[in-house]
Amino acid sequence: MLEISTDPGAVDLDWLHHRLSTDAYWALGRSRERIERLVENSLPYSVFDDGTQIAFARLITDRTTFAWLSDVYVDRLHRGKGIGKLLLDRIMADADTWGLRRMLLATADAHALYRPYGFVPHPKPDQWLEKNWPDNPS
């Protein structure tokens, strides 16, 4: 039976660290300490199948006007079964109750997953800036 939890204490940190640091192109090599900190400092969404974690995502948000969706990951053994959609359904339902003005995300390969939820390329990329710290690990 599938269950979604937003309890940071429910996150299987061993599973999450292994999956993100070895299988997620955006987080390769990410340290266990960074994984622990990102769970502590954001709103985690974990999907469990009979108690075993199979997916994860997190929001960095004020739950009022803005959210950043990050680290969306579905275990390779469970891809293609609608788990990502289930996860996004829950996240978007929560976000709808907060009255957010904007949610952002970055993806290199999952545009088709996010489009049905209203995500589009940013209409004013000339207004958005970013700051990178290239010497910091992912």
Counted residue by residue, the chain has a size of 138
pLDDT in tens, 85-99: 999 999 999 999 999
Tokens representing 35?
């994984």
Taking the C-alpha atoms of residue 22 and residue 65, their distance in angstroms, rounded to an integer, is 33
Flag whether pLDDT at 138 surpasses 80.
no
| E strand spans, 39-100 | 43-49, 52-61, 66-74
Q: What is the pLDDT of residue 17?
A: 98
What pLDDT was estimated at residue 87?
98
Helix, strand or coil for residue 63?
Answer: coil
pLDDT tens string 47-100: 999 999 999 999 999 999 999 999 999 999 999 999 999 999 999 999 999 999
CB 103 within 8 A of CB 95: yes
pLDDT at site 2: 96
What one-character DSSP code corresponds to residue 120?
-
pTM, whole model, 2 decimals?
A: 0.94
Residue 103 has pLDDT above 80, yes or no: yes
Domain boundaries, the chain: 2-127
Nearest to 78 by CA among 54, 45, 109, 110: 54
Backbone angles phi, psi at 77, to 5 degrees: -70, -15
Query: How far is Cα 79 from Cα 57, in angstroms, rounded to an integer?
Result: 14
What type of residue sits at position 11? Answer: V
8 Å CB contact between 37 and 82: no
The tens digit of pLDDT for each residue in 4-28 reads 999 999 999 999 999 999 999 999 9
Q: What is the 8-class DSSP label of residue 74?
A: E
Q: Which CATH number fits domain 2-127: 3.40.50.300, 3.40.50.10070, 3.40.630.30, 3.30.420.10?
A: 3.40.630.30
